[in-house]
């Protein structure tokens, strides 16, 4: 073994300090998750949501402790969201932590006209509003606005909603701005992106949100934008991110954004969303648990996380949750190899019971170590308490190997197939 020098020790300390600094941020950050489970998954659902679905999702998210949530997107047309908001008011529901999406109004010849969604916002009495707006060159021109018009429209919309909601609500609601395509604008027109952010900062809104609608931006780009935004929007103004999926960057983008100074994210609890989905609120909260953030289990009903996510998936898709879904998927805690297990107590492991999951085993025929086969035989009740070197276990492993060599595939993990293999091997 080579001697550890002072220079080696300096390098080790630098790496350890960097890791500890990041972990300290994740351990101590107040978890902010603006939940979209009632609204976002419907944008990609093959079935849509009925009023009863909305009611069920509202109950599920409330039971989990997800009280800050988007309860609808208001438009000029009547939608299920309108029915749902009306129903919430008939139940005298406390909506003080809830948000609705609205569109900015229009300005023509100097006169401002509120969007129909803004009028609904005041009429229904939903206290908190998110203005969804587009600022990139492509989308701005498609909406028929130049740079100045886009800013003027946004500012006058915020002023109108603040003045009118104060009259129709017991307390002044929060106003968030979603610069939905800020990342595109930053890449295309950085000077204009800067002008927009300075303008929003002057509006004294409560939060700024942005998204990666195509899932094409890297986590380091999210982090850089958050650090830049913080120079104009210091706390207590919230900065929330919303990375979409498609290229496998979404979950890391949330963590990098929080490390860079974002308060959190606005996400559905599961990955279901438009196109290929988005980062999930469940994965974000579970990752904070892995960093030993004690506030997660204080604030949320973590033992119900996985059952609730699976119920939500049925509402969103009509079927079971995808087995590869982070945390809640059926394969998340079913080991194919002992070395891959998240239940060993090493750094980052969390016991599956803490999030409402259950540890198990799964047979992948191409590898299928005897220990996995024996464990699967035990948990299915086919043959309890067999040792990995039992002749029947080794016989099953041999049959799985030879089946693939013959060019055949069999579902070795499924109970009927495994029971047949056990009978043959015995």
Q: What is the mean pLDDT of the chain?
A: 94
- Domain total for the chain? 2
- Span 73-96, average pLDDT: 93
Domain boundary (317, 333, 355) is at 317
Give the span between the Cα atoms of 100 and 197, in whole angstroms: 22
Count of beta carbons in the 10 Å neighbourhood of residue 236: 8
Judge whether residue 168 has pLDDT over 60. Answer: no
Q: Facing residues of 132 across strands?
A: 178
Please give the residue range of the domain that contains residue 253: 28-317
Count of beta carbons in the 10 Å neighbourhood of residue 331: 14
Q: Write down the pLDDT at residue 170.
A: 40
Does 62 lie in the same domain as 178? yes
Q: Is 9 exposed, middle or buried (0-12, 13-18, 19+ CB in 10 A)?
A: exposed
pLDDT digits (tens, 9 = 90+) for 88-104: 999 999 999 999 999 99
Q: Write down the pLDDT at residue 172.
A: 54
- Span 112-133, average pLDDT: 90
Does 194 lie in the same domain as 109? yes
Element (H, E) at 200: helix 190-202
Q: How confident is the model at residue 138 (pLDDT cuts 50, 70, 90)?
A: confident
Q: Write down the pLDDT at residue 169.
A: 44
Does 159 lie in the same domain as 295? yes
Q: What does residue 307 show for φ and ψ, rounded to 5 degrees? A: -60, -40
Domain boundary (257, 288, 317) is at 317
- Span 338-354, average pLDDT: 92
Domain boundary (282, 317, 352) is at 317
């Amino acid at each position: 073994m080579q001697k550890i020098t002072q220079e080696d020790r300096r390098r080790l300390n630098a790496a350890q300090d960097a890791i500890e600094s990041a972990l300290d941020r994740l351990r101590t950050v107040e978890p902010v998750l603006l939940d979209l489970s009632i609204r976002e998954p419907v944008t990609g659902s093959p079935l849509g949501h009925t009023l009863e679905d909305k009611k069920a999702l509202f109950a599920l998210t409330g039971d989990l402790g997800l009280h800050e949530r988007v309860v609808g997107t208001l438009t000029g047309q009547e939608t299920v969201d309108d029915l749902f908001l009306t129903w919430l008011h008939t139940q005298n529901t406390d909506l003080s932590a809830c948000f609705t999406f609205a569109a900015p109004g229009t300005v023509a010849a100097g006169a401002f006209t509120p969007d129909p969604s803004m009028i609904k916002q005041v009429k229904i009495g939903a206290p908190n509003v998110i203005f969804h707006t587009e600022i990139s060159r492509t989308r701005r021109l498609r909406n028929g606005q130049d740079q100045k018009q886009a800013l003027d429209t946004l500012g006058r919309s915020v002023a109108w909603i603040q003045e009118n909601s104060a009259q129709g609500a017991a307390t002044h609601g929060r106003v968030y701005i979603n610069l939905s395509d800020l990342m595109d604008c930053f890449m295309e027109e950085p000077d204009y992106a800067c002008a927009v952010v300075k303008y929003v900062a002057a509006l004294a809104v409560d939060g700024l949100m942005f998204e990666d609608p195509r899932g094409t931006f890297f986590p380091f780009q999210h982090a850089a934008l958050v650090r830049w935004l913080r120079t104009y929007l210091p706390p207590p103004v919230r900065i929330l991110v919303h990375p979409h999926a498609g290229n496998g960057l979404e979950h890391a983008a949330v963590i990098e954004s929080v490390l860079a100074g974002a308060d959190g994210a606005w996400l559905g609890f599961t990955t279901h969303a438009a196109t290929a989905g988005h980062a999930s609120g469940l994965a974000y909260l579970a990752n904070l648990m892995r960093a030993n953030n004690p506030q997660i289990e204080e604030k949320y009903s973590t033992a119900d996380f996985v059952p609730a996510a699976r119920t939500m998936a049925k509402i969103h898709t009509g079927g079971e949750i995808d087995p590869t879904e982070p945390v809640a998927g059926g394969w998340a805690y079913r080991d194919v190899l002992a070395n891959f297990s998240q239940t060993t107590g090493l750094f980052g492991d969390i016991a599956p019971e803490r999030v409402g999951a259950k540890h198990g085993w799964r047979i992948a025929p191409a590898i299928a170590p005897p220990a996995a086969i024996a464990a699967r035989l035990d948990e299915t009740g086919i043959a309890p308490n067999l040792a990995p070197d039992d002749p029947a276990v080794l016989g099953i492993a041999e049959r799985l190997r030879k089946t693939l060599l013959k060019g055949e595939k069999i579902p070795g993990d499924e109970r009927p197939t495994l029971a047949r293999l056990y009978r043959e091997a015995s």
